[in-house]
Structure 1
Amino acid sequence: MAGTNPRVTVITLGGTISMSGSTGLVAPTLSAADLVAAIPGLDGTDIDVHVRDLMRIPGGSLTFTDILTVHDAIREELEQGSTGTVVVQGTDTIEESAYLLQLLHDAAGPIVVTGAMRNPTQPSPDGPANLLAAIRVAADERSRGRGCLVVLNDQVHAARHVAKTHTIATNAFASGASGPLGWVVEGEVRYGHPPVPRATKPRRPLRPTSPATVGMITATLGDDGSWISDFAQRFDGLVVAGFGAGHVPMTWADHLEKACAQQPVVLASRITTGPSLTNTYGFTGSESDLISRGLIPSGDLGPYKARVLLWALLADSTSPAGIRAAFTEHNHA
């Protein structure tokens, strides 16, 4: 609305940014109002900030159902006039929760996910700066139509590409070969890339009465895979985090082919940067061998995001052919 200040709603879920304690150990206790009150320089902006507390839990305890609840809250805030929303959570699961929000979100108003690597009891906590940058990004007109973004360390990342790459550093988040979409410099949001087409999302709001379950198995040296068949029976779908460009021990191949007869199995790479291949290597357990046995290539989606996409598709009752087509579409979006 021309002539009015942008309105941003800050939704808090907990995490390091909201932690406090007096015994040397910390837990999530701070409210959204507490976090916003601790931001230096916010009063000097023209942004109207509203707060909404949803949860106060560590990032590693969030569930798919929690993120559906968050998206409901985001939709409500945007419908009630917010320019954009900021989701504050623990960094442990940001790359997964942000990607699920990206899949669910079809409104123009941006979602910006942020958190902190240093809790407020430590010297130079990064939470206030991250939250201020996230609020600026959510309020910026150029963020519209970009879906879900992740903002930390004054960098703006696409939810599809961002990953946590360090356990404690304040510059822990990176977007691999893609790099960040933009930066916050002297309070100004600067984008280096235009908005890109959005990939397929579930066709209707997800309300699974029996939530889908997706397991993930990681290829490791010397593992014969004899346990895979029993493990696979526990899940509706599987993601394989293979070696290199998408390889597994040759002893795994028959077990994974058997699993493909029962459920969708997606092949990704355990390497953090770079795509899995489809047609380069030809040995047993190679990417081409596994695809010929029925595995679905994840392309440049790493195993964690591939698991999120597979879960969303299964929860949306997508057919096997539709699942395969969705992964193809996501790798060309």
Structure 2
Amino acid sequence: MSVALFTLGGTISVAGGSNRLTGAELTAAVPGLADLGSVLEVQDVESVPSGNLTLATMLDVVDAASKAVSAGASGVVVTQGTDTLEETAFVVDQVWPHPHPFVLTGAMRNPTLAGPDGPANLLAAARVACSPAARDLGALVVFNDQIHAARWVRKTHSTSTATFASPNAGPIGHVVEDQVRILTKPARQDGVPGRPEAADLDAARVALYTVTLDDDGLLLQGLADTHQGLVVAGYGVGHVPSALAPVLGALAERMPVVLTSRTGGGSVLRSTYKAVGSESDLLGRGLIDGGFLDPYKARVLLRLLLATGEGLDEITAAFAQHH
């Protein structure tokens, strides 16, 4: 039995200065990994900060992981930087077609610091990747001995080793005394149909606009001429200043515009408030309800849907899964 390990760089691999550890060096530094009962088949893909990763890179990793599973791997682990991990995990979750666990992890303290968390996170991730209990759960993020579903997980702190949390649901499981304990098994959702081509991804430009106090909307001018979609991170349950409501409504006539909350937890509402700029007003102007999706994941989903040629009805239905 084997687990396919793909390394993409990030803090977990930082060895001082610009030096980065290879996958073989990473695994050699993990006590107990040799006793796992599964061989780790290592592929070094990238050696970059996660801010330099792209959707195209992650789709290539998914393709390589699919080949590994077809060749007999029981699961997949990806190590990368944490800055974009919540987004890359969601990309994987939308396109991973297999029941085999696909686990992403990393570190907040690099190997040159006291108490590096990378070895423990990698060991826990490997345990989850080869656990039958973790099958049919889509992409998972394993950090600090917690198991999170990709659709809910967020990076919530800039430096804490407990940075990853799922504000709307909590972890779906834990690694306890070397055992994978799954507490709840959320049903898998329909992913994105097909695998977007690189050129289609490049053409699917989606803007993310965070609404702020006394916002005049100047940055939205000309957006429909340069982008194919927009995600709005509104106040609270999905509100914007009244002056922005007609601007967003006009944009929704030309492109998909998804309404989300900038708060980091909870869902946008549908019908509680009625004022101009409220959630019911914006949805009535044609904006799409982003539900529980945070703005970053909403942007990932909208871009993937546009890149696969989905129309407005299909895009609306995809987001309805997250209500």
Task: Please classify the TM superposition score into its range, dividing by the shorter chain length.
Answer: over 0.9
Aligned to 2:247: 255
| Letter of the 1:297 counterpart | D
Instruction: Name 1:3's counterpart in structure 2.
Output: none
3-state SS of 2:77 partner: strand
Aligned to 2:169: 178
SS of match in other structure, 1:290: helix
Letter in 1 for 2:11: T
Instruction: Give the match for residue 133 of structure 2.
Output: 142
Shift >4 Å, 4+ stretches: none
CA contact (8 A) 1:14 1:28 kept: no
Alignment partner, residue 274 of structure 1: 266
Equivalent of 1:46, from 34, 37, 41? 37
Assess, with a 3 A threshold, how the Cα gap between structure 1 residues 200 and 28 changes in structure 2: closer, same or farther. farther
2: CA distance between counterparts of 1:80 and 1:223? 53
Amino acid aligned to 1:287:
E
- Matched letter for residue 102 of structure 2: I
* Root-mean-square deviation (Å): 1.1
| Residue 315 (structure 2) aligns with | 323
CA distance in 1, matches of 2:23, 2:230: 37
| SS of residue paired to 2:42 | strand
Q: Which residue in the other structure is 2:15 paired with?
A: 20
The separation in 2 between residues aligned to 1:269 and 1:28, in whole angstroms, is 39
Tell me if the contact between 1:16 and 1:28 (Cα under 8 Å) persists in the aligned partners: no
Farther off after superposition, 179-188 or 203-212: 203-212
Q: Deviations over 1:39-86 (max 9, x none)?
A: 011122212111111111101111111111111111111111100000
CA distance in 2, matches of 1:233, 1:304: 22
Amino acid across the alignment from 2:57: D
1:27 offset after TM fit, Å? 3.7
Q: How does 1:1-333 map to 2 (within 5 A)?
A: 6-21=1-16, 26-27=17-18, 29-194=20-185, 196-211=186-201, 212-331=204-323
Give me the whole-angstrom Cα distance separating, in 2, the residues matched to 1:246 and 1:220. 12
Name the amino acid aligned to 2:95: L
Report the Cα distance in structure 2 between the residues aligned to 1:79 and 1:316, rounded to whole angstroms.
24
Shift of 1:231: 3.1
CA distance in structure 2 between the partners assigned to 1:139 and 1:146 by the alignment: 13
TM-score of the aligned structures, taking structure 2 as reference length: 0.97
Calculate percent identity across the aligned residue pairs.
Answer: 47
Q: Could you tell me how far apart the structure 1 residues matched to 2:68 and 2:25 are? A: 20
Q: CA deviation at 1:261?
A: 1.3
> Please, what TM-score do these two structures have when normalized by structure 1?
0.94
3-state DSSP of counterpart to 2:280? helix
**Alpha-carbon distance in 2 for matches of 1:266, 1:301:** 10
Per-residue CA distance 1:185-220 (angstroms, 9 max, x = gap): 1111111113x3221212222224232111100011
- Aligned-partner residue type, residue 161 of structure 2: T
Q: Contact (CA 8 Å) 1:16, 1:119: kept in 2 or not?
A: yes
Q: How many residues align?
A: 321
1:28 deviates by: 5.9
